[in-house]
Amino acid sequence: MNHMQSAALSAPVTETVLLRFAGHNFEPLPSGALFWRAQSTLLVADLHFEKMASFARKGQMLPPYDTAMTITRLETDLRRTGAKRLLSLGDTFHRPDSSSLLTPADRLRLDTICDTVECIWLSGNHDPIAHCIGGTCLPEIQVEGLTFIHHPSKGAKGHVSGHLHPAARIAMDGRTARKPCFVHDNRLMILPAYGSSAGNINILSPAFFGLFHMPALEVTMLRPRPTTYPVPTKRLVNG
């Protein structure tokens, strides 16, 4: 039995932070994934597989290890949570043809994930068409009154999305810290980018203007294990 096939036998993860959104409970993980225990579903956004390989094709010779690192992160979260479904909220691959750039080893690991748990891959702006790995490719999906989709939109209600790679910068005691984050106002939630090579954008930047009802904003920042942590919005700063 390999390490992925033993996922269901692993003890479920215990997190001290519970994220309540639109009447549902979620567990934000330090990796940037969101575990929906009631649906046994692991949610991730913006994996950007083969980003470095795409850059290499343009002459930018960067270490091509990002996909393997992201897959390791996925394997770990699936094993720790015991999730039976993986739902990726778009931009799983960095380019529409990036699945053809997978190394045999990385393709085998992704095939194992697809054989072990139900995989649903939503389309994003980087991968708008179906790719050739296993699982189901969809533009969006609705589950228990929530809509899962790549692009966040103004006025959305009950939407969970990715795309913007949110991060928060906080100021406290004369020091600042910046980390990727989960952000929501109980109508719209945006997950941080999960890919090891993905960047991030401050949630106070213009890219986020008009998306959230600020008085209701809740921000949960990533940090090293064992947990994530919520931060007061009054501590948020630009930069």
The three-state (H, E, C) secondary structure of 182-217, written as one string: EEECCCEEECCCCCCCCCCEECCCHHHCCCCCHHHC
Q: Establish if 230 belongs to a structural domain.
A: no
Write out the residue range of the structural domain in which residue 114 sits. 16-224
Q: Establish if 233 belongs to a structural domain.
A: no
Identity of the amino acid at 170: I
Q: Give percent of the chain with pLDDT exceeding 70.
A: 84
The residue ranking higher by pLDDT, 109 or 101, is 109
Q: Establish if 3 belongs to a structural domain.
A: no
Using the predicted structure, report yes or no on whether residue 236 has a pLDDT greater than 90: yes
Give the Cα separation of 120 and 156 in Å (integer).
22
Q: Establish if 22 belongs to a structural domain.
A: yes
pLDDT digits (tens, 9 = 90+) for 7-16: 333 334 444 5
Give the Cα separation of 94 and 53 in Å (integer).
9
Give backbone dihedrals phi and psi of 62, rounded to 5 degrees, phi first.
Answer: -110, 155
pLDDT reported for residue 211? 97
The tokens of 237 are what?
A: 């700063």
Q: Establish if 186 belongs to a structural domain.
A: yes
pLDDT reported for residue 63? 52
Q: Establish if 50 belongs to a structural domain.
A: yes
Q: Write out the DSSP string of 13-68.
A: P--S--EEETTEEEEE-TTS-EEEGGGTEEEE----BTHHHHHHHTT------HHH
Using the predicted structure, report yes or no on whether residue 126 has a pLDDT greater than 90: no
Give the Cα separation of 90 and 86 in Å (integer).
12
pLDDT digits (tens, 9 = 90+) for 157-202: 999 999 999 999 999 888 999 999 999 999 999 999 999 888 899 9
Using the predicted structure, report yes or no on whether residue 6 has a pLDDT greater than 50: no
pLDDT reported for residue 226? 61
Instruction: Report the CATH number that the domain containing residue 31 is assigned in CATH.
Output: 3.60.21
Give the Cα separation of 90 and 231 in Å (integer).
27
The tally of domains found in the chain comes to 1
Q: Indicate if the alpha-carbon torsion angle 21, 22, 25, 27 is positive or negative.
A: negative
pLDDT reported for residue 185? 97
pLDDT band at 4 (very low <50, low <70, confident <90, very high): very low
Q: Indicate if the alpha-carbon torsion angle 56, 107, 95, 221 is positive or negative.
A: negative
The tokens of 236 are what?
A: 């948020």
Using the predicted structure, report yes or no on whether residue 224 has a pLDDT greater than 80: no
Q: Establish if 67 belongs to a structural domain.
A: yes
Q: Which range, of 11-25, 49-63, 132-146, averages the lowest pLDDT?
A: 49-63
Q: Indicate if the alpha-carbon torsion angle 135, 141, 147, 153 is positive or negative.
A: positive
Q: Establish if 185 belongs to a structural domain.
A: yes
- What mean pLDDT comes out for the span 15-41? 92
pLDDT reported for residue 10? 38
